[in-house]
Structure 1
């Protein structure tokens, strides 16, 4: 493993380029086909720096250096948007970067997928501590088998499903199929966000790493840590070891501890979140510091859709706490478990007793989603035009908290056991 991280100070582009060049030059890539697997624009990443450094280092000697966007179940990106994401124009693509083709992952296209193997139920029961016991086929985008090396590239931050994102997560769910996506998302929901987010060693991470063992294509990873828009660490090696080093740095930089909980938390969503499916991270990262019965407001005037891909499912079931589903799973058998998991993650903790649901906090949307739809999907509504964010600023002693760029840093209540 090669890498460096800074708790204080920042990493220069030159340092990052040096780490990448040293790592790539150690690999036998002459005449080989390499596939870079990268995040989409819902993540914060210095993709122009990374893509160009990789191409400049190995572009002349490889047969192909293609790029696949690890969409998971997010919408596909137009090719020109992918080019812009990696910092080049169509003309530069033709003239300076001709060995690259750009692909979107297609999670819901059976013809695009292959089954790499199956994790048997008994092993899953052991990995998950008995929470789930079923055979799980490990589906993956079959294009990976056209390449000699996978280069997994992505940021490492606290994550609501896996604990800390990055590494093999850019394979599962990044370029995998629905079976394993649904499995581990529901596993994360069963464990619940308070017990999993920001935790390094989780059953979900173990599932992802076990699934990756089925892949026969050699894998390397560039795992990096961004904090306050600055590159703080860059690590490369196997996906497991590079991720582990980056996760340790993320733990030091990406978690904010508060000594109290707040009656009203206003989270300002950054514009990279363009629907509630991605903007839900505001809830995931802030709900722990909201007082029982308090309100968490997702302020995102630019969001006017629940989910561009999954909105029809959410309109059908709404947002509810885990036990609303868990105690009546037979009633929701036709709903993908990944949808159920997203629903519970946004809604947060709560109880469901004698047919009555009692959420711990009230999640309120101050977005472009109409009030009628907010109520229908079981979330609160506030007209964003009536909100002045500065009214939350400087009032922590009164129980009000304003969080800019919400959804990036994880806020934890320091007083909980």
Structure 2
């Protein structure tokens, strides 16, 4: 059987590896009608009134969509929210792009219809633009809360997004669209320092310091907030949730968990990959390492297959803020990370990873390090997994 790995702008065929195990999440049944699923979630929200009853013609609304680094059905989510907010005139509705620390990118990459972008005010959030920020207090953990002015000026904030595993916030989606999505760069990084806490862990929503801090930040903003998220597993949308930004999010986690949690014995070599946009840069592809680390033996090797057509991303952030602060703790003692990408050796040498020219060479190098009889485990879309070693 040929195993194709998501790699970037193309796929990679896994070399023949006798005895290698391929770990896939369970295959969930997709929702038969995405539009109907989102509409149903909006009509039966968790911990909140139906969105259609929340806003009037006078309500100033901000609808948040994720940035292009996430593969989400933004157009379908926005269209469903707009149907529910039929009483709100176009000039009372602002679309805000939750760029977080990533920085503004061209709006056409969002996949929203040009007519929609032309009909509403659009805020392409820049976390480094001090003039666009409003001070909203601090969390009990000391995180300063500055958010885009459009949030402070609104009566109602509707955050769209996707619930799927996240290596330090536990799960994506929920309050993340508001903060850090529309937060100040410095404040976001202050929250992200909590990723070093052991309980800021992949697959953990409750009792997670990082997520608790960002959810507290959103509560302290003092605006009506609402969530509309799809629930994704294995690249398949399995449902939708709407309502309170915390309670509805946890319902999304409950729906996702059975399709993302997997068990496997530990291995000497773990190969991870993902399609775009995760494999677009090392900044994004680094999030594939924590699932691998949970299934790696001491002294083992993680092989990351990610083309990285957009390069490394900001090097200091990648090496320190992502790897040293949040990723390294998932790796057992003596572990090595090999990177198979489209970048040259000199570029990779500046990162935390070790260069490998191709997948076959990476596997050969891994076997030299751990022995010819090394056990090999392959996670073709590691970003969708919450693994547990057995």
TM class by shorter chain equals 0.7 to 0.9
- Larger relative contact order (C-alpha < 8 A, sep ≥ 6)? 2
RMSD (CA atoms): 2.8
Distance 2:350 2:80 in 1: 48
Q: Residues 111-170 of structure 1: CA distance to partner in whole angstroms, max 9, x if unpaired?
A: 111110123xxx42xxxxxxxxxx432111122122221001111122122222221122
8 Å contact kept, 1:271–1:302: no
Alpha-carbon distance in 2 for matches of 1:200, 1:79: 31
Instruction: Give the deviation of 1:245 after TM superposition.
Output: 0.8
> 2:382 aligns to what SS in structure 1?
coil
Partner SS state of residue 41, structure 2:
helix
The residue aligned with 1:345 is 326
Correspondence list, 1:183-202, <5 A: 183-191=190-198, 196-201=201-206, 202=208
Which of 242, 248, 252 is matched with 1:242 structurally?
248
Q: Could you say which residue in structure 1 is the equivalent of 2:384?
A: 408
Please state how far the C-alpha of 1:267 moved relative to its aligned partner: 1.3
Change (3 A) 1:205 1:278: same
Name the SS of the counterpart of 1:280 in structure 2: helix
1:231 corresponding residue in structure 2: 237
Offset at residue 295 of structure 1 (A) = 1.0
Where does 1:199-210 land on structure 2 (aligned, <5 Å)? 199-201=204-206, 202-210=208-216
Tell me if structure 2 keeps the 8 A contact 1:297–1:364.
Answer: yes
Unpaired segments ≥5 residues, structure 2: 1-26, 45-49, 367-372
Report the CA distance between 1:60 and its aligned residue.
5.7
* Residues 293-308 of structure 1 aligned to structure 2 (within 5 Å): 293-303=299-309, 305-307=311-313
Indicate whether 1:251 and 2:257 are aligned: yes
SS at match of 2:150: helix
> For residues 385 and 265 of structure 1, what CA distance do their matches in structure 2 show?
12
Seen in structure 2, the aligned counterparts of structure 1 residues 348 and 298 have a Cα distance that, compared at 3 Å, is farther
Match of 1:291 in 2: 297
Q: Which residue of structure 1 aligns with residue 342 of structure 2? A: 368
Deviation at 1:204, TM superposition (A): 1.6
Paired residue for 2:12? Answer: none
Are 1:303 and 1:368, in contact at CA under 8 Å, matched by a contact in 2?
yes
User: Which secondary structure does the structure 2 equivalent of 1:196 belong to?
Assistant: coil
Q: 1:305 to 1:24 in 2, by over 3 A?
A: same
TM-score w.r.t. structure 2 length?
0.80
- CA distance change for structure 1 residues 98 and 56 in 2, over 3 Å: closer, same or farther? farther
CA distance in 1, matches of 2:303, 2:352: 14
Aligned length: 347
The 10-residue stretch of structure 1 (106-115 or 227-236) with the greater mean CA deviation from structure 2: 227-236
Change over 3 Å in CA distance of 1:29–1:228 after alignment to 2:
farther
Q: How does 1:13-412 map to 2 (within 5 A)?
A: 13=34, 14-20=36-42, 23-59=50-86, 61-62=88-89, 63-82=91-110, 84=111, 86=112, 88=113, 90=114, 92-93=115-116, 98-119=118-139, 123-124=140-141, 135-191=142-198, 196-201=201-206, 202-258=208-264, 260-273=265-278, 274-303=280-309, 305-307=311-313, 310-311=314-315, 313-314=316-317, 319=319, 339-349=320-330, 359-384=333-358, 386=360, 399-412=375-388
